[in-house]
């Protein structure tokens, strides 16, 4: 269990596109949206824990055969999402914090869950790690316990990212600075997509 918990902490602590997204949402729309995004990412890690620990061998074979296509598709999805964020950041006259009515349009938990699920790095990490913790004799309850330990470790880090973004949002009240931070985070997410394609 401890090993799974530490794995959950480790995969979440890497500052990748999902971490940037959670910080960005905490900054723009407050702690609650950052937290919902963080929970979405941690739930995706839980899902991968269940899948990797139960069907790791099959999934590994499938990904092996389709690895390049899978990387291209997920990288393109990250790039397009970053471009969508960038378009909104450039067009915005005011931040979401100044337009609280707009925050209800986004399901932060679901959108972050889906973006985390398609992250190819997450897939590779879970498949590699699953072989260290489970064997064909591992029972369902043990698999759920391991995935829950990963979820808990991941959630701690995701909530820290959300809190950091929300705290930053309290100190950075100038809309121009917030807009520049939004543009920078959008470009970073697009960069992750480009790096995956290259």
Res 19: pLDDT = 84
DSSP single-letter state for residue 14? S
Question: Rounded to an integer, what distance in angstroms lies between the CA atom of residue 195 and that of residue 197?
Answer: 5
User: For residue range 32-63, what is the model confidence (pLDDT) as tens digits?
Assistant: 999 999 999 999 999 988 887 776 555 555 65
Q: How confident is the model at residue 9 (pLDDT cuts 50, 70, 90)?
A: confident
User: For residue range 92-106, what is the model confidence (pLDDT) as tens digits?
Assistant: 544 444 444 444 567
| Statement: the pTM of the whole predicted model exceeds 0.95 | no
Helix (H, G, I), strand (E, B) or coil at 13: helix
Annotate 98-137 with b (16+ C-beta within 10 A) or e (fewer): eeeebbeebebbebbbebbbbbbbbbebbbebbeebbeee
Q: Contact, 56 vs 130, CB < 8 A?
A: yes
Res 163: pLDDT = 92
Residue 15 has pLDDT above 70, yes or no: no
Res 106: pLDDT = 74
DSSP single-letter state for residue 118? T
Measured CA to CA in angstroms, residue 140 lies from 45, 134, 152 at distances of 17, 11, 18
Choice between 173 and 131, residue whose per-residue pLDDT is larger = 173
């Amino acid at each position: 269990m401890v090993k799974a918990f530490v794995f959950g902490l480790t995969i979440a602590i890497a500052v990748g596109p999902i971490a940037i997204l959670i910080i960005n949402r905490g900054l723009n729309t407050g702690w609650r949206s950052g937290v919902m995004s963080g929970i979405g990412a941690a739930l995706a890690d839980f899902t991968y824990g269940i899948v990797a620990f139960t069907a790791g061998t099959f999934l590994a074979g499938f990904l092996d055969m389709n690895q390049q296509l899978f990387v291209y598709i997920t990288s393109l999805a990250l790039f397009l999402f970053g471009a969508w964020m960038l378009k909104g950041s450039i067009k915005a006259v005011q931040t979401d914090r100044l337009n609280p009515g707009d925050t209800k349009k986004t399901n932060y938990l679901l959108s972050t869950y889906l973006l985390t699920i398609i992250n190819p790095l997450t897939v590779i990490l879970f498949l590699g790690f699953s072989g260290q913790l489970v064997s064909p004799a591992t029972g369902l309850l043990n698999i759920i316990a391991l995935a829950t330990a990963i979820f808990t470790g991941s959630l701690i880090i995701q909530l820290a990212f959300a809190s950091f973004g929300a705290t930053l949002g309290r100190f950075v009240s100038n809309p121009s600075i917030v807009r520049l931070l939004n543009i920078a985070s959008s470009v970073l997410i697009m960069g992750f997509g480009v790096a995956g394609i290259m």
